Copies of this chain bind each other. A is one copy, B any other.
Amino acid sequence: MMQSFSYTLSELADKVGAELKGDAGEQISGLNTLQDAITGELAFLANPAYARYLESTGASAVILTPVQAEAWTGNALILENPYLGYATLSHLFDGDMGQPEGVHPTAVIAPDAQIHPTAAIGPGVVVESGVQVSENVRIDAGAIIGHDSVIGAGSHICRNVTVCHGVFMGERSIIHANAVIGADGFGNARSDGQWHKIAQIGGVVIGNDVEIGSCTCIDRGALGDTVIHDGVRIDNLVQVAHNVVIGKHTAIAANVGISGSTKVGEYCTIAGAAGLAGHITIADHVHLSGMAMVTKSITRPGAYASGTGIMEAGEWRKNAVRFRKLDDMAKRLKQCERRLDD
């Protein structure tokens, strides 16, 4: 059976420092959206577009801003940022049981690895030589920590993750299942048409409060390190090539690819499946749309996009054929203008 939860509304208010309106003893057993919430659940109004669901919600209480709360007669937790309040409270309703403290007997720990006694290491985990596992680290089943890596305090390595050798990871960071940190970058020298492997002798440095998604790959540097700064969020199936640097608090959605030595600024957002060429620089506060194709540096903050929108396939085909002659069209248009001028 999954865990069940129950808190009084006043316990939750205390947790987030919210002003409580209504029944402080109301029992809350779950979180939900305004639309789907039932009795016993706490909902939140983060997006004003959903305000229309407020009247009909089945929630036993709602997180609201002071202004929203004025017109609301039910139970409420009042906060300036209801979405942040929801984020904070969500952790109280998390059914993930975690890993018991200590080392599971089937884990294989190198004799010279340093494992803090508060660390929780699951079944089948392998911790190689020279690794340092800090306090309150959690390593789930099947994960492997390559030799000479450091896992900072409070970090969490999920199931079947591979951390290769010599990776440094800060505090309170999370690596989701089956991600790979520190595999070789794609480095080859060509000679006579054949590829000669370049050993990737740099490392990976991951900051504090970083989260990296499932099946995401962060390659080690060729020379020097690949660096993921504090507070970065990376979703699933993202490629981060060797010697990339991601500035702090940047968020990168799934399926993005970032080529070698590219530097992404701070506070950027990169939407899903965008692709960044190598050896370019993206300024701070840049926002890339989904599937954006970035082949050169972006030097100014702002929103950027590429591609063409979705169309009915027959219509699309007619337009796509014309794209092949767009340069020709431009020249002919110029010609028309000249003839009209004459």
Q: Residue of B at shortest CB range from A294?
A: B310
A108 within 8 A of B: yes
Which of B122, B195, B288 lies in contact with A126, CB distance below 8 A? B122
Write out the residue numbers on chain B whose beta carbons fall within 8 Å of the beta carbon of A187. 87
A310 touches B292 (CB 8 A): yes
A249 touches B87 (CB 8 A): no
Contact with B along A269-306 (1 / 0, CB 8 A): 00011010100000000011111111110100011111
Nearest CB of chain B from residue A157's CB, rounded to whole Å: 12
A147 within 8 A of B: yes
Give 4 nearest A-B pairs by CB, closest first: A87-B189, A303-B313, A90-B199, A318-B327
A sample of 7 inter-chain contacts (CB < 8 A) reads: A188-B251, A239-B255, A275-B291, A302-B312, A303-B314, A308-B323, A333-B333
> Interface of A with B (CB < 8 Å)?
1-2, 30-33, 36, 81, 83-84, 86-88, 90-91, 93-97, 104, 106, 108, 122-124, 126, 128-130, 140-142, 144, 146-148, 158-160, 162, 164-166, 174, 176-180, 183-184, 186-191, 193-201, 211, 213-215, 217, 219, 222-224, 231, 233, 235-237, 239, 241, 249, 251, 253-255, 257, 259, 267, 272-273, 275, 277, 287-296, 298, 302-327, 329-330, 332-333, 335-337, 339-340
